[in-house]
Chains A and B, each alone.
Chain A
Amino acid sequence: MRHRIKTWGPGLLLVAPSIVAIGVFVYGLIGSTINLSLTDRHSARPAENYVGTENYGNLFSDDRFLHSLRNLAVLTVVFIVGTIFFGLLWALLLEKGVKGEGFFRSIYLFPMAVSFVASGVVWRWLLNSAEGQNAGGLNALFGMLGLDFLQNPWWSHPTWGMAAMALPAIWQLSGYIMALFLAGFRGIPAELREAARMDGATEFQLYRHVIFPQLSPVALSALIIVGHMSMKMFDLIMAVSGAQFVTEVPSVYMWQTLLTSDYAKAAAIAIVLLVIVALLVIPYLVQNARAERGR
């Protein structure tokens, strides 16, 4: 036993500072947030009582919160579909090796380098909802190109506005997804493709039955990373529309709630967000751990 501790002991020590840091800065803070969400602290004064899950119950009967959840769902779906579509498309276009691949890759990747505060400045203009004569941004561009029918109110549309809000995020992150898929494609041994071709498979069949199945781990991690970014999306929405009803998502609602000093409610919203992300991520982590044990 002592021998075994001697083997893994140093490893544990090496990781210990990180464990402590995460323990305090992540789990400690999550714990204090959960604690806060169970109190009645609706002002800047200290909390008086524990009220159990009352705050959570109130949230789920709050129309405004439900509306923000719906917005989040639209945003997440469009964001995920958009980034995976473009990422996959660009990876497909590039994976066979084209001249200037490095150039194209860099261009598609570079929006990742820009902060949302910076890109918010310009996307605010691009997504301006004026149409026709007063049009600005993309609507004006459509007008100039004779594509007037494409003009629309973007994110101020009551039902589907959030889909437009996903655009800047898709612009910024599709390149990253492309990089993931490219890495995935390149990781598939050439022999596998040759073998399939030898068996008479068409390009389409090759992709469908050989290549894409190999990509599913990559696709899954892409899904998880993009999905969780969508849940936390905040800077972008604040920069483009500011905090307002039509684009409100839970993270913005939480910010507004904090402004009104309703700390317990804000904490409850945060925990709900955390749970949603967890639901998205835990299956991935579990499957991950299982796959590795099998290795």
Chain B
Amino acid sequence: MTTETVSRPQTTPGRRRAVSTPARVVTARTVRYGLLVLFVIVVFIPVYVLLVTSLKPASETGVTNAWSLPDAWTTESWKLAWESLSPSLWRTFTLAIPASIIAAVLGSLNGFVLSRWRFPYADLVFTLFLFGMFIPYQAVMIPLRQLTLDIGLPSGIPTLILAHVVYGIPICTLIFRGYYATTIPADLIEAGRVDGAGMIRTYASIILPLSAPGFVVTLIWQFTSVWNDFLFAIFLSNTRNGPVTIALNALAGGQLTDYAASMAGALITSFPTLVVYIILGRYFISGLMAGSLKS
């Protein structure tokens, strides 16, 4: 006796159910991939224009032929953009890296205390921190400038580091607080307490080792927002001691713009943050999944 088994498509958790016929599954999958690819193209449109324009000689650039490939490919504008931007590029690293790390560390400490170690009115303090994210900074630029002058910090990178750390505290605290609230059970802290561990010991031996995903999300977020900031940069520094966004603005902001150089400059300026996202993007997502931004 032969047994005929009706072949059923495999069901693994997360895959489409077996009830659909194979043809429908294939169509659904094609549609899905089709959409995904379509969106990739759509998302790339601005990048295409940036690239193509940056490789044209200045005379060819113009809004009406934005889509056409260059008649004469040239890297002239890239060289020009690089010359204008490179001094401030290195400076911007000296701004973004310390600012991100310090803000992240503070965020971690704050997040730990506010979610797990706690003190009276900790939630109120957290809410007040959060509210600080929402002020429109243009309004406070003049008093802010006065404040940083009074503190005595030299203008440029040192002042910007201070500003970005302070204004980064709320978001970093938010990220870590959510992360610790979801991933560190309160019992773990209790157990540590019972063993006689103080706050620092608890942080160093229990919390810190588990903090990597939180740090990834925070560092990426902070690095990107510091690298890309323009407002604080023009008020608290100048073209000689400021970050690359000022230099890019000088390149792209005049009235008789060299479009090719501006677009090359935009690409150059975006490169470090792009690299950060491409390399660490996966950790960004898994950091988010570990509850960093959950309520």
B-binding residues in A (CB < 8 A): 8-12, 14-15, 17-19, 21-22, 24-30, 32-33, 86, 89-90, 93-94, 96-98, 102, 104-123, 125-126, 128, 130, 134-137, 140-141, 144, 171, 175, 179-180, 182-184, 186-187, 190, 193-194, 197, 203, 217-218, 220-221, 228, 231-232, 234-235, 251, 254-255, 258, 263, 266-267, 269-271, 273-274, 277-278, 281, 284-285, 288-289, 291-293, 295
Contacts and interface: CB of A to CB of B under 8 A. Distances in A.
A186 to B, nearest CB: 5
B36 A109 contact: no
B64 interface: yes
A115 B277 contact: no
B206 to A, nearest CB: 14
A84 B245 CA distance: 29
A243 B140 CA distance: 20
25 contacts: A15-B125, A25-B166, A27-B128, A86-B39, A109-B277, A110-B274, A113-B276, A118-B265, A119-B266, A121-B265, A123-B46, A125-B66, A136-B65, A140-B64, A140-B66, A179-B284, A182-B288, A187-B289, A190-B14, A217-B295, A220-B295, A228-B133, A273-B136, A278-B131, A281-B131
A115 B284 contact: no
Interface stretch (B72-80, B153-161, B224-232): B224-232
Contacts, number: 281
Contacts of A102: 281-282
Contacts of A118: 228, 248, 265-267, 269-270
Given A105-B281, A274-B135, A112 B224 contact: yes
A63 B36 CA distance: 44
- Which secondary structure dominates chain B's binding surface? helix
A104 B36 contact: yes
B295 A33 contact: no
Given A122-B46, A182-B285, A291 B295 contact: yes
Contacts of A228: 133-134
Contact of A97 (B14, B129, B200): B14
B285 to A, nearest CB: 5
A130 B134 CA distance: 36
B169 interface: yes
A277 B267 CA distance: 32
A276 B72 CA distance: 51
Contacts of B231: 234-235
Given A113-B276, A119-B266, A274-B135, 8 more contacts: A22-B128, A27-B128, A121-B265, A122-B266, A140-B64, A184-B294, A187-B294, A269-B139
A122 B136 contact: no
Contact of A26 (B39, B40, B46, B135): B135
B67 A140 contact: yes
A283 B201 CA distance: 36
How many residues of B sit at the interface, in one of the four size bands? Answer: 35 or more
Contacts of A194: 13
B46 A171 contact: yes
A118 B113 CA distance: 38
B120 interface: yes
A10 B199 contact: yes
B288 A11 contact: no
B274 A179 contact: no
B136 A179 contact: no
Given A90-B39, A126-B49, A180-B288, A25 B144 contact: yes
B45 interface: yes
Given A18-B129, A97-B14, A25 B147 contact: yes
Contacts of A235: 230-231
A290 to B, nearest CB: 10
Contacts of B127: 285, 289
Nearest to B292: A183
Contact of A93 (B32, B133, B273): B32
Of B125, B249, B274, B288, most buried by chain A (CB within 10 Å of CB) is B288
A225 to B, nearest CB: 8
Interface in B125-175: 125, 127-140, 142-144, 147, 163, 165-167, 169-170, 173
Given A113-B276, A125-B49, A254-B139, A19 B269 contact: no
Contacts of A263: 142
Contacts of A114: 228, 266, 270, 273-274
A269 B138 CA distance: 11
B294 A221 contact: yes
B274 A22 contact: no
A93 B230 contact: no
Nearest to A111: B43
Contacts of B284: 109, 179
B15 interface: yes
A277 B167 contact: no
B62 interface: yes
A221 B17 contact: no
Contacts of B66: 125-126, 136-137, 140
